[in-house]
Structure 1
Amino acid sequence: MSPPGDDELPSEEPDGSGGGGTESGGSDARGPDAAGPTTGDDPTDPSPSGFDPDGRADAPSESQAGGERGEGTDVAVNGGAPTADAAPTRHGDAEAAESTAESGARTFLIDVVSSALAVLLVGALLFAVSGVWPPMVAIESSSMAPHMNTGDLVFVMDEQRFPGDGEIAGTGVVTLRSGQDSDYRQFQRPGDVIVYKPNGDDGATPIIHRAMFYVQEGENWYEEADRQSIGRYSECGESTEEALPYCPAPHAGFITKGDANGGYDQAQPDPLSAPVKAEWVVGTAEVRIPKLGCIRLRNERCLGAARAATTDTGQTVDATLAAGAANRSAVAP
């Protein structure tokens, strides 16, 4: 090699490169100490930030990805289905369920108490109107058919509350005989239908029949009676075979009879009651509700029609059968 001329600069070689150095191609060689940043901030670096030298996008770190997408977001891994985070444990669920159960029980209890109070209020209102307790009776026989039938529920009122025209001697009761004169009718016939205690017995089943006429103490009421309603009896006297029972009248009271019955209650072979004293009267029947009394009675007679009270010719038949249940009513509790 010829020595450089005066106008040529000697070539510089890095220390320790020897003759094996590579040609820079006009670019300054940079040693390790002179290396620039590798973050892609160099404007001469053709690779934008976030890309590796192979042209693939730099994958963000797990912490960066979590920060960008937010906590709890499902992420597809390697193109697979998103993975759902496990449901967090909620300590309040058991308490909420217990609270719901307590609320349901409380609501049920309130409903029961409200219903009971409503029934009591209705009962109190009926008592205030009727003056009788209980204010309803359930008909357990056909002795008042067709105007009242087995299973009917009848509203009863104190006889003194609103007495009809023609009441007897301040009793509040209008008999069939006096009702014919005053044109007062109840249940399609003249006179009141009364509920009474037979012979004044509080423990006996009350009877609901029509008041026919009123007798005074010692009165011979055989002469006043309807001959068809006294049956085989032919006189008023002491004979148990031929004399009309309770004649003369042992005390003042009403002679009564079921609309479907053939004889007076006092003219039965085994009389249902003596003439009904005014104090034995529970009240007068006012309104009937068909079949509602079956709830109280709960017997098979409520399931069928009431027994017919007339023959094919329309004449009344005797349905008493010696003071059987066909003559009575039951007080509904």
Structure 2
Amino acid sequence: MSADAPPLSRLVARDALQLVLAVTLVGLVLFAVTGVWPPMVAVESGSMEPHLERGDLVVVTDEDRYAGPSADDHGIVTASASDGYQRVGAEGDVIVYAPPTRDGSPIIHRAVFYVDAGENWYDEANSAYVRGANSCAELRNCPAPHAGYITQGDNNGYYDQASSIAPPVRPEWIKAKAQFHVPYLGTVRLELQDAL
């Protein structure tokens, strides 16, 4: 090392500072583009297969950003109102939501249709996904206890609201909506989470 060269500790400190600044800059750009933090989520279950698999990394945005052509007042396009609009492999938006009573990670499922408070949504529902109910009286969360979205994992046999997953999803419970995914890139994060 020449006499004019900075000491090794200074070089390491400079490199560490440059790395921190680069990571911060990338984070700020991602936040500016997506409007949410974190801007990516890892899929933790197989409920959205075949369109999203466990370990996929999903890039998400604020629900009002990049709204589809038939988006409602909350920026969400439901599968029933999609008019051909697709996101993550099928019609309608995939939303990330967390009811206040939920412990653990938020749920990432497709918004199928919207219901108003007190609405008998049995007639609008696909009878294959209502868990054997033959009327609103036999269907969990029917009539709707409040306005919100009826949701379903693409690989699930029933609506979330026909099982014990969640009541209709209030717009304020929505944390983000999916834009696209990168297969298996979230696997490392899930493995670390499982190890802890």
TM-score (norm. length: structure 1)? 0.55
Matching of residue 172 in structure 1 with residue 75 in structure 2: yes
1:274 is matched with: 167
| CA-to-aligned-CA distance 1:180-219 (integer Å, 9 cap, x gap) | xx2211122110011111x235854100000000101100
- Structure 2 counterpart of 1:209, from 106, 109, 112: 109
Q: Where does 1:214-229 land on structure 2 (aligned, <5 Å)?
A: 214-229=114-129
Identity across matched positions, percent: 47
| CA-to-aligned-CA distance 1:81-124 (integer Å, 9 cap, x gap) | xxxxxxxxxxxx9x96xx97x72222112212211221111111
Q: Where does 1:2-81 land on structure 2 (aligned, <5 Å)?
A: none
| CA-to-aligned-CA distance 1:128-155 (integer Å, 9 cap, x gap) | 1111111110111111111111111111
Aligned AA (2:168) = P
Matching of residue 131 in structure 1 with residue 35 in structure 2: yes
1:251 is matched with: 146
State the alpha-carbon separation in 2 of the partners of residues 157 and 286 from structure 1.
7
SS of alignment partner, residue 161 of structure 1: coil
Aligned AA (2:21) = L
User: Any conservation in 1 of the 2:87–2:180 contact (CA below 8 Å)?
Assistant: no
SS of alignment partner, residue 225 of structure 1: coil
Q: Number of residue pairs matched?
A: 194
| CA-to-aligned-CA distance 1:255-281 (integer Å, 9 cap, x gap) | 00011111111111xx11110011111
Aligned AA (1:132) = V
Q: Which runs of 5+ in 2 are unaligned?
A: none
SS of alignment partner, residue 175 of structure 2: strand
State the alpha-carbon separation in 1 of the partners of residues 16 and 120 from structure 2.
58
1:112 is matched with: 16
User: Any conservation in 1 of the 2:88–2:181 contact (CA below 8 Å)?
Assistant: no
1:260 is matched with: 155
Superposed displacement of residue 235, structure 1: 2.0
Matching of residue 297 in structure 1 with residue 190 in structure 2: yes
Structure richer in strand, relative to its length = 2
Query: Over aligned residues, Cα RMSD in angstroms?
Result: 2.2
Task: Describe the shift of the 1:133–1:202 C-alpha distance in structure 2 as closer, same or farther (beyond 3 A).
Answer: farther
Matching of residue 103 in structure 1 with residue 17 in structure 2: no
Aligned AA (2:109) = H
SS of alignment partner, residue 41 of structure 2: strand
Aligned AA (1:200) = P
SS of alignment partner, residue 200 of structure 1: coil
State the alpha-carbon separation in 2 of the partners of residues 114 and 249 from structure 1.
53
1:187 is matched with: 88
Q: Which has the larger radius of gyration?
A: 1
State the alpha-carbon separation in 1 of the partners of residues 31 and 151 from structure 2.
26
- Structure 1 counterpart of 2:181, from 282, 288, 292: 288
Q: Which runs of 5+ in 1 are unaligned?
A: 1-92, 238-242, 302-333
Superposed displacement of residue 249, structure 1: 0.2
SS of alignment partner, residue 17 of structure 2: helix
Higher relative CO (CA 8 A, sep ≥ 6), structure 1 or 2?
2
